[in-house]
Structure 1
């Protein structure tokens, strides 16, 4: 009998030889991501312990259902700040209700992801350009960086845009707390120096020390805070953390019904961002490891991870690049490494939670600021400026949109610009007038190569499928080309690159044939693909064609010249 959660293939065929590698990777990832998990919960507006909760049940579910063998899911910066912005209108709720609302948002996001897998929409990521995703993530990273200033200065900065944050910062500049700034500033310098300098100069065998630095800084901060009584110095600390594993809690109630409709747009956008980012991470590592990857299975894994996690005090989780990179570098070979990282988290919340109480918020803020700098991806923008101006425009619009209007509007505007660019490109297909290279069967662009041309014969190669979006542009190009050849008697459309011709494209060819016939010019087709020919034979394109359909362009030249 087929079960709802069948035993995953990796567990059925797990090689015992990989066990030691996965154990080591699980322990390393579990230890390293503790500071990140605490910080991302804080970033989402939740008590830090919810970051640990979110790295337990969802990770187990993804390990069972997900597509990637090494993708390490958990709380990440992008979904954390999107959670905070989505729940900003409900900031006055009691902490428990706010936490349940964050779990409800995860449930809704997971449901969208699961529905997308059910409808097999894994292909949708192909239509969101690299420029949009890089611009959105870069803009979000800048907002996150600015937002953490309040934790290392104690200045109550608020707002969802750069302008709002800037105005808030200036208005409350006098509220800066020097002891907090000293703690946060020192932590930032240590972590920044470790990540961008120490990690580069350490020999490979000592890289482990650099990876553990955030945890070491956190432990030292806890010890110093405990003995110096940071709370007496008015340096904000985490305080008491509930001890124990996450509990089963319904993430909804009847009073949440009006809020569900308000959260629908945000949850849909979060589902899109979660899938795009997680799919990019998981698929890239799958290619490097020469493993099979299924986008629809990834949707299903993320969906169930968020749906089930929502009932165990989790907020939205996704596959993170840095977390996955650490997992791979540590030697992970299967999801068993993620399962063992859950054991580390469980031990932390069961026995070590009380010891986290003296940890200053300033240290967590500094840790997030340093981690987030790497997400500002100007390299992609520079490459796009050189090779793809449309993608560079999409990057800039998404980045500026996020900074000026906030995450949700910025992402939507970026996607719209990306689609507009796609439509614009599709409406301007590459078309070339070609000639024969010597006596060969090759035909090349007359503006790029030395070719043979006969003024009585015009050969035009169309390099895109013909559809309603570009039929007019193709017709205009052919018309101008014919006008430039005063002695033209035959026009051959070389269709070797045309994979489909829709109804508008068919009507364009019929009209073109009639107009050329009125000018005593015969229209011919060559190198028509089988499926396209099967389609055209049922239409008036072939029935009314004044010329012939040639198997090859060489044959057309031989017959017509």
Structure 2
């Protein structure tokens, strides 16, 4: 039973499900459904797919995640960044609007789902940590700007194209004279209205006496209001005859389950992008899930989240959808609305299914400019210029990685931006760990504590050199350690002992072990003894299986103070004497 509960979290929370919990989930589902209907249509358009595909991707995936996911508040479905990545990937393989394009998008969801599930079963969720937060933040900011720019053509009513910021603006600029003024009025008006709804409607409603819950519900229904009003205007005034582009007929009915196309060549073409989409989607999803879980003192299982998201993507493919993940905005709305269990997502799926069955005929006259406004308002909330400023102030190297990711994404494409971000994250990690912080330390007078000689008033002797290393030792930094010790010894001809202080060393790999053996050998040839101190138990267990300790010219000390007392008792006594004098004074 425990084994099943590990892979089917529904067996855990489902046993405690009751009427009160169901009520909370139903209320949250109503609010998220209202928000998700226009978003699903808009994000499908962003991915270059028919609008109904966005609805299909918002039904079965939510049910699958409710069964396999561990977050109580995460709302799964189409999101802006994954939609953009889908368009960029599939657009290289097939022409938009063709059956091949849709088939490739479905296959992309299926492959991504299989990859996520495989990573989950292999317990490889930690791989997402290879993407640093500044790089992810930079990529999302750039994607937000790129997505918003790509929607300007729908706001203006022109047929622009382009996958980079430069190409988009050049294309729009060349056709700016063909702007449809009615479309511009609808798109700009919807954008302004949605920004006002997001920023000011709730405050205004509270000011005139509304209670918080209905005020919040009406605020979340803002996009639905924009869709309803502009659709009504387009139908009544027959705006299609005036050049306003409409969504057109959306097929009614639920998707028919089907398998994705099994084409070996197509799968090979999609594999690399599917992995990138999987990683980006997982990082975005798990970040949101962990943040929301912490607020209620709950926890999620990252490896099981991989399985949950993988199952959601497989379900999306089977139901004719495209890649999905946990969305930030709708997850926060789901949480704030009181979602108590993943069942809220399943109830949302029912709401979307009802909309797919009965509401799609009402959307025939929906202007694409309204959907573009919905996308623009949603994605601009992802743009965080403040993070750029904060990162620059805190870490120039992280800022450089962030800036490079933003520029590459904007001017060379989203896939190149992702690859750059991954490469820079790994590169920064290796660079920092290849040059670990090391400090010569001395004893703080009157204590047994050792601190950096450049930061504190400490006592040191001429016979013992104590070097504290503040990282684990492995292949990337072992040579740096060697060079550092040799340089320090060369500058101090009176040194008789070198003690490597290891309180922060959690692991020593084979390369670092060879470096320690070489250090011991070369120092011994120079008449200098090599010692270790404060070695952690697990590290010591592994060292005892090697020849290093057998041939060590010095000793392994339990504490650095013990080493100083034995190797240089005069300095240790001097430290104590200074304290006694100071106290006496």
Q: TM-score, normalised by structure 1?
A: 0.95
Partner of 1:250: 259
Partner of 2:550: 543
Q: Please point out which of 220, 224, 229 is paired with 2:229.
A: 220
Distance 2:259 2:561 in 1: 72
Q: Please point out which of 154, 165, 170 is paired with 2:168.
A: 165
Q: Please point out which of 288, 298, 301 is paired with 2:295.
A: 288
Runs of at least 5 residues in structure 2 that lack an aligned partner in the other structure: 569-585
Partner of 1:111: 114
| 3-state SS of paired residue (1:89) | coil
User: Counterparts of 1:166-205 in structure 2 under 5 Å?
Assistant: 166-199=169-202, 203=206, 205=212
Partner of 1:406: 413
Distance 2:302 2:533 in 1: 38
Partner of 2:95: 92
After superposition, what is the alpha-carbon deviation per residue over 1:413-462, rounded to whole angstroms, capped at 9, x for unaligned?
11111111111101111111111111311011111111111112211111
Distance 2:324 2:62 in 1: 9
> Does 2:539 align with 1:532?
yes
Note if contact 2:309-2:325 (Cα within 8 Å) is conserved in structure 1: yes
Distance 2:478 2:8 in 1: 49
After superposition, what is the alpha-carbon deviation per residue over 1:164-218, rounded to whole angstroms, capped at 9, x for unaligned?
1122112222221111111111111111222234456653722332221111111
Note if contact 1:100-1:250 (Cα within 8 Å) is conserved in structure 2: no
Runs of at least 5 residues in structure 1 that lack an aligned partner in the other structure: none
| 3-state SS of paired residue (1:8) | helix
| 3-state SS of paired residue (2:503) | coil
After superposition, what is the alpha-carbon deviation per residue over 1:349-406, rounded to whole angstroms, capped at 9, x for unaligned?
1111111111110011011101110111223222221223222222111111111111
After superposition, what is the alpha-carbon deviation per residue over 1:237-262, rounded to whole angstroms, capped at 9, x for unaligned?
11111111111233216xx4432222
Distance 1:331 1:157 in 2: 42
Q: CA, structure 1 residues 517+6, in 2 after alignment: closer, same or farther (shift >3 Å)? A: closer
Q: CA, structure 1 residues 441+93, in 2 after alignment: closer, same or farther (shift >3 Å)? A: closer
Distance 1:557 1:261 in 2: 62
> Does 2:368 align with 1:368?
no
Distance 2:313 2:515 in 1: 50
Q: CA, structure 1 residues 100+509, in 2 after alignment: closer, same or farther (shift >3 Å)? A: closer
Partner of 1:332: 339
Q: Please point out which of 293, 299, 307 is paired with 2:306.
A: 299
| 3-state SS of paired residue (2:498) | strand
Note if contact 2:10-2:66 (Cα within 8 Å) is conserved in structure 1: no
Note if contact 2:9-2:69 (Cα within 8 Å) is conserved in structure 1: no
Partner of 1:132: 135
Deviates more, 1:402-411 or 1:83-92: 83-92
| 3-state SS of paired residue (1:70) | coil
Shift of 1:484: 3.2
Shift of 1:22: 1.2
| 3-state SS of paired residue (1:30) | helix
After superposition, what is the alpha-carbon deviation per residue over 1:305-360, rounded to whole angstroms, capped at 9, x for unaligned?
11122111111111000010110111111112111111221221111111111111
Deviates more, 1:140-149 or 1:99-108: 99-108
> Does 2:75 align with 1:72?
yes
Shift of 1:232: 1.7
Shift of 1:518: 3.0
Shift of 1:526: 1.4
Partner of 2:452: 445
After superposition, what is the alpha-carbon deviation per residue over 1:458-495, rounded to whole angstroms, capped at 9, x for unaligned?
11111112222111211222222223333222222112
CA RMSD of aligned residues (A): 1.9
The number of aligned residues is: 559
Partner of 2:573: none
Distance 1:506 1:86 in 2: 45
Q: CA, structure 1 residues 501+169, in 2 after alignment: closer, same or farther (shift >3 Å)? A: same
Distance 2:329 2:140 in 1: 14
Note if contact 2:433-2:477 (Cα within 8 Å) is conserved in structure 1: yes
Distance 1:284 1:560 in 2: 50
| 3-state SS of paired residue (2:499) | strand
| 3-state SS of paired residue (1:523) | strand
Shift of 1:25: 0.7
User: Counterparts of 1:506-521 in structure 2 under 5 Å?
Assistant: 506-521=513-528
Q: CA, structure 1 residues 421+5, in 2 after alignment: closer, same or farther (shift >3 Å)? A: closer
Partner of 2:438: 431
Partner of 1:322: 329
Q: CA, structure 1 residues 101+508, in 2 after alignment: closer, same or farther (shift >3 Å)? A: closer
> Does 2:272 align with 1:260?
no
Note if contact 1:60-1:339 (Cα within 8 Å) is conserved in structure 2: yes
After superposition, what is the alpha-carbon deviation per residue over 1:253-311, rounded to whole angstroms, capped at 9, x for unaligned?
6xx44322222222121111111111111122112221121111111111111112211
Shift of 1:67: 1.6
Shift of 1:157: 1.5
| 3-state SS of paired residue (1:444) | strand
Deviates more, 1:498-507 or 1:62-71: 498-507
> Does 2:53 align with 1:53?
no
